[in-house]
Amino acid sequence: MADQRRAWQRLMGPVWRRIRLLVSRGVLKLVDDSLKLQSVQVALLGGAPAWAERFQQYGYTSHPHPGAEAVVAAVGGARAHLVALTIDDRRYRLVGLAQGEVAIYDDQGQKVHLTRDGIVIDGVGKPVNFVNCPDVYMDGNLHVAGEVKDHTSTMQAMRDTYNDHDHDGDSGGTTGKPKQEMG
């Protein structure tokens, strides 16, 4: 019986080791974002740091900070070919989203949050830039709490000019200020 057990362990030992190494957790150490497929160095539980290819969803990419957590798979059970299946960072993740909501975010608190009530873009005091965007169309109203500017002036400057303007009169004097101010 003991001989059969040892024979079974000898036969199944390598298979069991490969199965155990198939999926591992780890901590992100380095990122190489210069490649077509991002490469990350991950310290796996119980092992030395190793490099893995990082697969990301099409149309979305990120450059995580060291210390983020990863789930890594060993292709064919071989640690020589690792792929990072997912990387998350509990230090920065948004919490409290309602069921069905989606958000993209960064470590500075900037986010685009698709809420149940609408889309919230929060630049945390930083500008939100639309580049290579010749026209912006909307079928609703535009509400602005701050100043509206173009490349030469502001809406407030236009109001001030209009409200304070007069003209030369037909008979030599000047006309009065507009009867209705631009609000």
- DSSP-assigned states of every residue in 92-133: T----PPTT-EEEE-TTS-EEEE-SS-EEEE-TTS-----S-
What residues contact residue 102 under an 8 Å CB cut-off, 6+ apart?
A: 113, 114
| Structural contact between residues 49 and 82, judged by C-beta atoms closer than 8 angstroms | no
Give per-residue pLDDT as tens, 121-157. Answer: 999 999 999 999 999 899 999 888 888 888 888 877 7
Q: Residue 179 is which amino acid? A: K
Question: pLDDT tens for residues 152-178?
Answer: 888 777 777 777 777 777 777 777 766
* Residue 19 clears pLDDT 80, i.e. is over it: no
H or E element, residue 44:
strand 39-44
Number of C-beta neighbours around residue 121 at 10 A: 9
pLDDT tens readout for residues 48-103: 899 999 999 999 999 999 999 999 999 987 788 999 999 999 999 999 999 999 99
Instruction: Kindly report, residue by residue over 24-54, the tens digit of the pLDDT.
Output: 999 999 999 999 999 999 999 877 899 999 9
What local confidence, expressed as pLDDT, does residue 183 receive?
67
What pLDDT was estimated at residue 140? 93
In whole angstroms, what is the distance from residue 84 CA to residue 28 CA?
10
Query: CATH says 2-88 is which class?
Result: mainly beta
Q: How many residues does the chain have?
A: 183
Per-residue confidence band for 112, with pLDDT thresholds at 50, 70 and 90: very high
Q: What are phi and psi of 46, to 5 degrees?
A: 75, 15
**Cα gap 66→77, rounded to integer Å:** 25
